[in-house]
Amino acid sequence: MKSFRYPPGRIHLLRLDTDSDLSDSITAYAEQHGITVGWVNFLGAVRHASLRYYDQEAKRYEDFVVDEPLEVVAGVGNISLLEGRPFIHIHAALTDEAGHGRGGHVNSGTVVFAMEVMIQELDGVPPSRELDDCTGLTLW
């Protein structure tokens, strides 16, 4: 296990624009405001979702699209450094009109209908993501 300890920093509340890209908007905000370590929560709705699933056996991502309006019942993520730049890692639990769930790692290409985001910035040196041989993922 690795662990990191930080005092809390600023809390940022954002309302993303309709038709903006969910992941790219949060990334751009973090870059503009120098946020390099933090935790992200969000809720709202998307016009469609571009997601990925990590195949643990094959150690590779499989991308898929859900091309319909969806509620974001829970979105969570974090901000750290990858190759020296702020990297936003977000996952979302989504539901369709019948309440059936989908979800996964959120890719660029997920288009916002309405979205409220909280970023809890943390104070200190951000963790850097590095390749983890055990999982094949870039982790803290």
Are the CB atoms for 73 and 45 separated by under 8 Å? Answer: no
Q: How many CB atoms lie within 10 A of CB 71?
A: 18
Q: Nearest approach, Cβ of 49 to Zn ion (angstroms)?
A: 14
Contact pick of 48, 102, 105, 129 for Zn ion (by CB under 5 A): 105
Q: Judged by CB under 5 A, which stretch of 6-14, 25-33, 57-65, 102-110 contacts Zn ion?
A: 102-110
Q: How many CB atoms lie within 10 A of CB 22?
A: 27
Q: Which is nearer to Zn ion, 47 or 91 (CB)?
A: 91
Q: Nearest approach, Cβ of 118 to Zn ion (angstroms)?
A: 19
- Hey, what's the torsion of the CAs at 12, 17, 23, 28, to 10 degrees? -60
- Look at the block and give the residue holding tokens 């319909």: 68
**What distance in Å separates the CA atoms of residue 110 and residue 20, rounded to the nearest whole number?**
8
- Look at the block and give the residue holding tokens 């979105």: 75
Q: Which is nearer to Zn ion, 55 or 123 (CB)?
A: 55
Q: Judged by CB under 5 A, which stretch of 27-35, 66-74, 98-106, 127-135 contacts Zn ion?
A: 98-106
Q: Judged by CB under 5 A, which stretch of 71-79, 104-112, 123-131, 132-140 contacts Zn ion?
A: 104-112
SS3 26: helix
Q: Nearest approach, Cβ of 106 to Zn ion (angstroms)?
A: 8
Q: How many residues bind Zn ion (CB under 5 A)?
A: 1
Residues near Zn ion (CB under 5 A) are: 105
